[in-house]
Chains A and B, each alone.
Chain A
Amino acid sequence: MRHLTEIRWHGRGGQGAKTAALLLADVAFQSGKQVQGFPEYGPERMGAPITAYDRISDEQIRVHSNIYEPDFVAVVDDTLLHTVDVTAGLKEDGGILINTVKTAEEILPLLKGYRGKVYMLDARKVCMATLGKYFPNTPMLAAIVKISGVMDIDVFLREMETSLQHKFARKPEVLDGNRKALKLALEEVTEWQ
């Protein structure tokens, strides 16, 4: 594992990309890492493209800039592929994760010739099978942890369990669905390229 991993999230306002980035920083911290999780703010409104970032390192993080050459990119909404240059600066030895129901033939031509690894996850399918509602950030978080290898999967699941129990202390009925969503996402994430 490289000592610094940089991840960029693309989503639309309201989909939880910022929350996912902050959650990733949170669980990575729990596993003993130095972390930095932050959103890039523009005019805030539902549906507008937003970007969020994670730095995860074994050493203190001092830099305070956005991430221009990420190791991994997570795209929470595939309609962004038409308007946002999601692979900009993305390292070829890294990878991109896309939440989509479309086929590889439809998606790959939109990635501007990116030659690194491409993964897909049908987060809606995962959500509907486990939560009954569409919250794509939970499955996307599990999938990005798996493909990036920023932390051990068992450690991730253990720390998420603590985090979920805290977050849903007053809604224990949704705990099981979230657990299942994480596990199903880990199974469902597929390497396309």
Chain B
Amino acid sequence: MSTKTRMSGNEAVAHAIKQINPDVMPAFPITPSTEIPQFVATMIANGEIDTEFIPVESEHSAMSAAMGASAAGARAVTATSSCGMALMWEVLYVAASSRLPIVMALVNRGLTGPLNINAEHSDSMGARDSGWIQIYAENNQEVYDNFLQAHRIAEHRDVRLPIMICQDGFITSHAVQNITLWDDEPIRKFVGEYEPEHYLLKEDESMAVGPYAVSPYCMEAKKAQAEAMKRARKVILDVAAEFETVTGQHYGFFEGYRLEDAEYAVVAIGSVCGTAKDAVDAMRARGMKAGLLKIRVFRPFPGQEIGEALKHCKAVAIMDRAESYSSQGGPLGAEVTAAMYRAKAQAETVNIMYGLSGRDVRVEDMEQVYASLEKLADGKISFPEYPYLGLRDGTEDLLSR
């Protein structure tokens, strides 16, 4: 059923693409996602898969070609990072509103500037309103498993939306770790063939993709798109349940780690959650009821479930790896806090900015976050603004605030 091996996050995504054998992959290289099209192109050259690889001259063209392929009725994938996705910006919205189930491997890297190549969520968080489904991973195993589920979610007739499968640049994309790979045959069966109902190359059915919509129709189209995103909630859970029967791996909207009885919780996305789990165990060993809520699905946003899961906590730290320059904190902070308010959760909250441009986060840093939550609940400290974690210049100690 499976093979235990070791590979990097980028290799894991490339292996998923190999098992899926999509019809078309247009891509343009950008650090740290470059390896993905590089590995896939090698597989094609070696005759392992028969995907049509389209080397394009920019990411705008990569997403445009993916749109063209998808609209024609093909299964299309691409990979990018940071400024590469920024150059796709216009087309991201067109792909989503045209309801084209493109699958994108996004290796998260900060948007410039200052120019930097390391992990940050400013690329995908900036595209959170583009209409794409977004699923995040803590490690190589999760990004592999998420990618295998992507087509099933995106192509489902109740959804028909593009999806980005995200992982942290370098931290997981370039780290070699143990991983379990699932056998080809059950995975091929699970992923299945793509059989779109409507597509440009369908005989005897003429259709237009992406035409102008006048005001009396345009708002209805957007509402229909929003409804599809709502329906994606159920599809994501159904696909995860089926994936579990094939692989034994359990996935949901989020993972609660020692969260059930937690008084102090951290909410975060991505690789930092592995580090936070070690901190949770360390704080538990010292007698603190610490827990973690790791968000896997950010679009659609499972606000109600998150609010309910945090209801019993005394204090919650919401961690953002992307500035929004709103002067109020980051995107995760805003959405989780709103979800908690709607669920009538009473916990104190603090929105913490961390890990920008790959700034390293140690277990000790996360322990400090938990320690500060206890003080926050006891009224011993307050956070008038949203603090930064791990800054070099004096404010690095959260407790000193």
Contact = CB atoms under 8 A, between A and B. Distances in A.
Interface of A: 22, 25-26, 29, 34-39, 41, 60-66, 68
Contact of A64 (B6, B178, B272): B272
Give the one of B139, B178, B275, B278 with max A CB within 10 A: B178
Interface in B110-125: 117-118
Nearest to B117: A41
A46 B387 CA distance: 38
Given A26-B6, A41-B118, A41-B170, A65 B360 contact: yes
Contact of B177 (A39, A61, A65): A61
B332 to A, nearest CB: 18
Interface string B353-381: 00000001111000000000000000000
Given A38-B170, A41-B118, A41-B170, A65 B178 contact: no
Nearest to A53: B175
B108 interface: no
B178 A34 contact: yes
Contacts of B6: 25-26, 29, 35
Interface in B17-73: 32
B176 A22 contact: yes
A70 to B, nearest CB: 13
Contacts of B176: 22, 25-26, 35-38
B39 to A, nearest CB: 15
A133 B139 CA distance: 37
B277 A65 contact: no
Contacts, number: 63
Contacts of A38: 170-171, 174-176
Contacts of A39: 170, 174
Interface string B115-143: 00110000000000000000000010000
B178 A62 contact: no
B274 A63 contact: yes
Which interface residue of B32, B139, B177 has the most chain A CB atoms within 10 A?
B177
Contacts of B175: 36-38, 64
B98 interface: no
A141 B32 CA distance: 26
Given A26-B6, A29-B6, A29-B178, A64 B277 contact: no
Nearest to B274: A62
A103 B8 CA distance: 39
B278 A62 contact: yes
B172 interface: yes
B172 A64 contact: yes
Given A29-B6, A41-B117, A65 B361 contact: yes
A25 B8 CA distance: 11
Contacts of A29: 5-6, 178
Contacts of B168: 64
Interface in B156-176: 168, 170-172, 174-176
Nearest to B140: A36
